[in-house]
Amino acid sequence: MAIRSNQETALKLSFVTGTDKNNREVVESRTIRDFDAGTSDEDLLSAGSGLAGLYRYEREGIYRVDTCVLKAA
C-alpha cells in the first residue's frame, strides 16, 4: 500500500506564441505554483482564465497539475 505526502497543486497556462518554419504551432507555458491542494477545479479554471487574459498570446489550454510523494506504508 502507498501513502501520499507533500501534495502540491499548480496551475499551468499554455499559449500559442506563433508558428515555426514548418508552420506548426509554437506553444509556451507558464506555471503558477503553491495552490492549496483542496482548491476546486472551477476555482482554478476561473483563476486561469483571468490570468490568461493578461497575456497577449492566444490561450492553448489551462491545466491543473497535482504532484505528491509516494511512500510505501
φ and ψ at residue 23, rounded to 5 degrees: 65, 25
pLDDT tier at 17 (50, 70, 90 boundaries)? very high
The confidence score (pLDDT) of residue 73 equals 84
For the record, the C-alpha cell of 30 comes out as 507558464
Q: How far apart are the C-alpha atoms of 52 and 29, rounded to whole Å?
A: 11
The confidence score (pLDDT) of residue 6 equals 86
pLDDT in tens, 20-61: 999 999 999 999 999 998 999 999 999 999 999 999 999 999
Dihedral Cα 41, 43, 46, 47, nearest 10 deg:
-110
